[in-house]
Amino acid sequence: MVKKIVLFFAYVSFFIVALIYFTPKVNSYYFAETQLKPLGVIIGSESVNDNGFSLEIKDAKVFVKSIESATIGHTNIKLLGLYNSVSIENILLSSTAKSFVPLKIQSANITYHVFNPLNINGDIMGEFGEAKVFINLLDRTLKLILTPSNIMKKKYKSTLRNFKKSENGELIYDKTF
């Protein structure tokens, strides 16, 4: 009896791993691109590579309403079912954003998992400092906790006015969408 249960779980585990590995990630990515197009977001000039358990995207240019908004050096998307993550490196924002924030973002890591299904969390590091992002899907709220860099404190004071200061020196931005 125990042997049958172990064999059953082995088959189920193999099936799930094979399903994740053979999922057409590139086609899913292009489908997501078509879903973003009506919102005015176009991703172009990228190279897409399926690495089995992850999808790798290099040198993507992001256009919002036909205006080039960012260049993304490297993106790694892992869709594992129970745990999903997006890691983005070397983001360069368009020069139109220069009056609001520094343009270089070193990394952004976004995670979502089944054990906390209503929340998406992220960590972002850039010339602006470090930020932690919390999105609640049920309440439709965004909370951003920023630890600003010296560049941000000196050159972008007008942007920092949109944040509330916490007791430990972090800046908090709350928004409902």
Q: Give the pLDDT confidence of 109-165 residue by residue, as tens digits.
A: 999 999 999 999 999 999 999 999 999 999 999 999 999 999 999 999 999 999 999
Report the pLDDT value the prediction gives residue 167, as an integer from 0 to 100. 84
135 residue type, one letter:
I
Q: Give yes or no for residue 171 having a pLDDT over 90.
A: yes
Task: Tell me the C-alpha distance between 156 and 101, whole Å.
Answer: 6
Report the pLDDT value the prediction gives residue 169, as an integer from 0 to 100. 75
pTM of the model: 0.88
Task: Tell me the C-alpha distance between 42 and 62, whole Å.
Answer: 6
Outline where DSSP puts E strands in 45-148. Answer: 47-50, 55-64, 67-79, 83-93, 104-113, 119-126, 129-136, 141-148
Q: Give the pLDDT confidence of 24-60 residue by residue, as tens digits.
A: 999 999 999 999 999 999 999 999 999 999 999 999 9
